[in-house]
Every structure is written in structure tokens, then in C-alpha cells.
Amino acid sequence: MPTKRYDNLDPAMQRRLLDAAQAEFTEHGYEAASLNRIIATAGMSKGSLYYYFENKADLYGTLTEDIGARLNARIFADGLPEPDGSFWEFLEVATHRKLQFLLEHPHLARLFGDVLRLSKQPSVPEPIRAIMARNLEQTCQFISQAQATGDIRTDVSCAFLAGLWQAIGDAVTDEILDQVAKGNEVAVGRLAELSADLLRRVSVPA
């Protein structure tokens, strides 16, 4: 996690630093990204980056959370259908907005792909491990709420279903990101429908 000094950094400087990191990680991927290039692009003095972050993984994790927050802001910008009585509509609209965001920002789709790749490696950077664990916990809470309203089966635990959802999401996301990179909106739409169908099949009450 970033230091408290980062939290106290001027918001404009935070944005400039994260934008420089985004450009670098998107272009070169996590392993080949250069902190020196990020510092130069951000207009910071050499070594100053460690004043705000412990290491490259720490900066990468902060950037990933920043993009996730921007994505959520887009998803919830105009509200969503109320989940009571229309859970699957709620999920469909949220998924559509997420995919539109990625189609409009293909460079961020590449970054999401890099995060997904890193999450599958034996030695996952700790900030990415923490983000994935938090995402899984949030998915479990989401499922638990839908179980309470009868929209999702209750004969298995939310943790079990969350694991299934993550596995389906990872499998479909790889292909979706590939089609996003090609700008193939039709294929992305079909894959989104496939993902929704698979989630529904494993989740609806028996």
C-alpha cells in the first residue's frame, strides 16, 4: 500500500504519477516496466517514487485500484436497476457498462489482461493478491445478498459460488480482452451473453 505521504500528495501530482504509471505498465507490462521511465514521465526527481511507494508492485497495485474505482464510477454513474426482483437485469446492465468502458479504453483492457495474467502466477505480487482476495470477498457478499432474496441457490455456500463465478469470469475475460483489443464489439457482446448464461446456469435455484 502507498505511504501516508502519498495520501498527502497534491491530487494533481497523484494523477500525473498514476497517468505516467498507467502509460508505462500498459505499454511494457508489469515485469518490463521501468520505474525510471515513470519518474521521468511524471516529472519527479529520481528516487522520489520510494518516498510514496515501497516498490514497483506497490505502485502497480495502487494503479489497479485507481482504474477499478474509475470503472465502478462508470458502472454506477446513472444508477442501476434495483436488484430486488430483477437481480439478473441488475447484473446484465452492470456487465454491459463494464464492457463499454473497456471498448472505449482498450489500453486499460490490456492492463486488466496483465493483472489477470499475474494473478495466475505462482508468485503473485502481494498487492495483486490482496486485490484479488478483496474482489472474491465482495463477490461472495454480492451473491449472499442475492441468496437472501431467492435469486441464487442456497444449497451451496456463497464462497463456493464465488469461486465458480471467478473461474468462469477468468476464462471468459481472457477471450473478451482479446476481442476488445481487436475492437470487435459484436464478439464482445456474444461473449458477455455466454458469461451471463453460464453464471445463471450454475447459480439459479434448483
The radius of gyration of the chain from alpha carbons, rounded to an integer in Å, stands at 19
Q: Which of 170, 174, 176, 24 is nearest to 101 (CA)?
A: 176
DSSP 143: H
Tens-digit pLDDT profile for the chain (206 aa)?
Answer: 677 788 888 899 999 999 999 999 999 999 999 999 999 999 988 778 888 888 899 999 999 999 988 888 888 776 655 545 578 888 888 888 888 888 888 888 888 888 888 888 888 888 888 888 888 898 999 899 889 988 899 999 999 999 999 888 888 888 888 888 888 889 888 888 888 889 999 999 87
CA atoms in the 13 A half-sphere facing the CB of 45: 2
What pTM was computed for the model?
0.83
Q: Cell digits for 145?
A: 445478498
Structural domains of the chain in order of their starting residue, each with its CATH number: 56-203 (1.10.357)
- Say if residues 65 and 27 touch (Cβ distance below 8 Å): no
